[in-house]
Amino acid sequence: MSTVLRTMDPLSIKEQSRAVASKVLHLPALQNCSNLSCFLSMPVGELDTAEICDIRLAGSKSLFVPKITPDGAMEFLKLYNQNDLETLPSGLWGIREPSNEWESRPRLNATDVDLDVILVPGVAFDRSMSRLGHGKGYYDRYIARYIASGRPPPLLVALSLRDQLSETTIPVTKHDWKMDMIVTPDEVLDGAVASKVP
């Protein structure tokens, strides 16, 4: 699947990303969301979240994005405006990452708030709401730590290109978190039931 994604037509990814963004932004959970976490996309072979981030920031709504720490953990730090987003330096795998400070002040960490929704990337998903990640376990470990801290569980919403939604079951382990929703260009899967969304 990783090879398929790397060789996908960029125009197709762009069109599918727009369709997914439209569905995501119309979800009641997103419209009522105070604190959202959204991944920033890899340069190639991944659904582009730029539109989701731009609209979120343009509406002056709270947005947190991932940063990989030196010890290999992941945390979510706040972005403050569109200029902040546009000037982020590239980090691991060419993905833009925030620095620990913004305008000489420490960035707000998602550990200081309650995240309502986490938009989750992946390599593949299936209709049982399972997710196959990139193999590093960043999201699974973060979600486990977050839940163990006693905070209300965030809604886990996976964003998927058409080719990433498998009609066969993908392999998972006991450490892999099920998604609450999976959004594709054509449908929104809620739980184990897929429903067409116009």
Quick one: pLDDT at residue 93? 77
56 marked as part of a ligand binding site: no
46 labelled as ligand-binding? yes
Q: Which residues of the chain have pLDDT under 70?
A: 1-4, 192-198
Domain extent for 38 = 2-196
Q: How many structural domains compose the chain?
A: 1
On whether 174 is known to bind a ligand per the annotation, the reply is no
Would you say 134 is a known binding-site residue? yes
131 marked among binding-site residues: yes
Beta-strand pair 124-126/62-68 = unpaired
pLDDT tens digits, one per residue of 167-179: 999 988 888 999 9
45 is in an annotated binding site: no
Instruction: Kindly report the CATH number assigned to the domain that includes residue 32.
Output: 3.40.50.10420
108 has binding-site annotation: no
Predicted pLDDT at 197? 37
Q: Are strands 117-120 and 35-38 parallel, antiparallel or unpaired?
A: parallel
Q: Read off the pLDDT of residues 5-34 as tens digits, 9 standing for 90 and up.
A: 777 888 999 999 999 999 999 999 998 899
Q: State the pLDDT at residue 94.
A: 86
- Per-residue pLDDT, 193: 46
pLDDT of residue 1: 60
> How much is the pTM?
0.91
pLDDT at 196: 35
145-157: pLDDT as tens digits: 999 999 999 999 9
127 carries a ligand binding annotation = no
Residue 191 labeled ligand binder: no
Kindly give, in sequence order, each residue whose CB lies less than 8 Å from that of residue 71, ignoring residues fewer than 6 positions away. Answer: none
Of the candidates 84, 90, 89, 124, the one whose C-alpha atom is nearest the C-alpha of residue 103 is 84
Angle at 160 between CA 65 and CA 38, to 5 degrees: 10
